[in-house]
Amino acid sequence: MTTPKVLIADNLSPAAVDIFRQRGLEVDVKTGLSKDELIAMIPDYDGLAVRSACKPDSDVIAAATRLKVIGRAGIGVDNIDVRAATSKGIAVMNTPFGNAITTAEHAIAMMFAAARQIPAADRGTQAGEWPKKAFMGRELSFKTLGLIGCGNIGSRVAERAQGLRMRVVAFDPFLTEERAVELGVEKVDLDTLLARADMMTLHTPLTDQTRNILSRENLNKTKPGLILVNCARGGLVDEQAVRELLDSGHIGAAAFDVFAEEPARENVLFGAPNFVATPHLGAATAEAQENVALQVAEQMSDYLLTGAVTNALNMPSITAEEAPRLKPFAALAEKLGSFAGQISDAGYSEVVIEYEGEISELNRKPLTAAALAGLLRASRGDVNMVSAPSILHDSGVKLSETKTEDSPVYDSLMRISTLVNGGWRSLAGTISAGRPRIVEIKEMALEGDFAEVMLYVNNHDAPGFIGALGQMLGEANVNIATFHLGRTEAGGEAVALIGIDAEPPADLLERLNALEHVRYVKVLRF
Catalytically annotated residues: 233, 262, 280
**How far apart, in whole angstroms, are the C-alpha atoms of residue 239 and residue 233?**
12
**How far apart, in whole angstroms, are the C-alpha atoms of residue 219 and residue 216?**
5
**How far apart, in whole angstroms, are the C-alpha atoms of residue 221 and residue 56?**
39
Using DSSP, state whether 467 is helix, strand or coil. helix
Question: How many alpha carbons fall within 13 Å on the CB side of residue 59?
Answer: 9
Q: Do residues 61 and 90 make contact, with C-beta atoms less than 8 angstroms apart?
A: yes
Q: In what order do the strands lie in the sheet with 47-50?
A: 26-29, 5-8, 47-50, 69-72, 91-93
Per-residue HEC secondary structure of 178-242 comes to: HHHHHHCCEECCHHHHHHHCCEEEECCCCCCCCCCCECHHHHCCCCCCEEEEECCCCCCECHHHH
Q: Do residues 99 and 13 make contact, with C-beta atoms less than 8 angstroms apart?
A: no
- State the sign of the Cα–Cα–Cα–Cα dihedral 233, 234, 236, 237: positive
**How far apart, in whole angstroms, are the C-alpha atoms of residue 286 and residue 284?**
7
Radius of gyration of the chain (CA): 30
Of all helices (H) and strands (E), which one includes residue 50? strand 47-50
